[in-house]
Amino acid sequence: MDELIAKGAEMIASAQKILVFTGAGLSTESGIPDFRSPGGIWEKYDPSDFYFQKFISDEHARTTYWKMSREFYSLIKPASPNRAHLAVKTLEDHGKLLAVVTQNIDNLHQKAGNSPEKIIELHGTLISVSCLSCKKKYDRDEIEARFDSGIKVPYCDDCGGILKPDTVSFGQAMPQEAMEQSIRYAGQCDLCMVLGSSLVVYPAASVPMHAVQSGARLMIVNREPTPQDGEADLVVHMSVSEALTGMLRLLFA
């Protein structure tokens, strides 16, 4: 494994414009379960309960959705960035980070100190809520307080519309500008580092492939194999915080 870490350090050393692409595997060491590992979210909840069409058409579905979202938020609110997040911040500190494109909704890249303008949240964020009709935005803690006071499903104060966390659900349109910006960055980077993602959800998972097609090198750090391992210049199947800490120790210690 040491030779893989050394190769990863060399790839980071020779890169100037790194596009970091992250998934839920980056946050498991912060106490937030991922989706597809054993015991992950999709073992506990049925993904079909979280399709956007179901959410907007059925108040019972919204009750189920908010129950899961509240459970997830109770893990995310107190969570701290782990060594993997801090390693990504170190890449920015050394002027090597073009952008972080994340599928995560946990705000941990922001908590780790990366510049907000360098963070693209492809699947939105759990820390704010919006009205699907008039787009009025609410702080998540304000909506949590309404649940604590006994409401089951929140609606908009201004127009009575359906409120939903600012995450992207299956069947919901991806944030167009975020996706387009991610593809632009993929075309500009010289190294794409995939950290903690199973790379099975599209269109997000097309970002690393776009980087490879644009001539960038690809590094995948993930505990399990991914469908894109064959395209990578380096694959490291181990803890993402262990791997990154090891690489950065060789570079910046």
> 58: which 2 tokens?
């059925």
Interface with ligand APR includes 228 (CB under 6 A)? no
Query: Looking at 85, 109, 123, 210, which residue is catalytic?
Result: 123
Closest CA to 215 of 191, 196, 250, 242: 191
Give CA–CA dist 84/63, Å, rounded: 34
Of residues 54, 96, 109, 123, which one binds ligand APR by CB under 6 A?
123
Stretch that binds ligand APR, among 30-38, 57-65, 108-116, 139-147 (CB under 6 A): 30-38
Least distance (Å) between residue 64 CB and ligand APR: 16
Of residues 7, 9, 40, 175, which one binds ligand APR by CB under 6 A?
40
Interface with ligand APR includes 124 (CB under 6 A)? no
Per-position x/- string for 185-224, each x denoting binding to ligand APR as judged by CB under 6 A, each - no binding: -----------xxx--x--------------------xxx
Interface with ligand APR includes 24 (CB under 6 A)? yes
Of residues 4, 18, 25, 126, which one binds ligand APR by CB under 6 A?
25
Closest CA to 206 of 224, 223, 231: 231
3-state helix, strand, coil in the chain (%, to 5): 45, 20, 35
Interface with ligand APR includes 125 (CB under 6 A)? no
Q: Which is nearer to ligand APR, 149 or 176 (CB)?
A: 176
Question: For this structure, is 123 an active site residue?
Answer: yes
Stretch that binds ligand APR, among 18-26, 106-114, 131-139, 141-149 (CB under 6 A): 18-26
Give CA–CA dist 192/183, Å, rounded: 12
Give CA–CA dist 75/64, Å, rounded: 17
Can you tell me whether residue 3 is helix, strand or coil?
helix
CB 207 within 8 A of CB 186: yes
Q: Which is nearer to ligand APR, 59 or 224 (CB)?
A: 224
Closest CA to 86 of 118, 116, 110, 122: 110
Give the footprint of ligand APR on residues 63-82 (CB under 6 A).
none
Interface with ligand APR includes 240 (CB under 6 A)? yes
Can you tell me whether residue 36 is helix, strand or coil?
coil
Exposure string for 203-230, b = 16+ CB within 10 A, e = fewer: ebbebbbbbbeeebbbbbbbbeebebbe
| Cβ partners under 8 Å of residue 217, min gap 6 | 11, 15, 190, 191, 192, 233, 234
Least distance (Å) between residue 87 CB and ligand APR: 12
Residue ranges in contact with ligand APR by CB under 6 A: 23-25, 28-29, 34-37, 40, 103, 123, 196-198, 201, 222-224, 239-240
Task: Give catalytic residues, as residue numbers.
Answer: 123
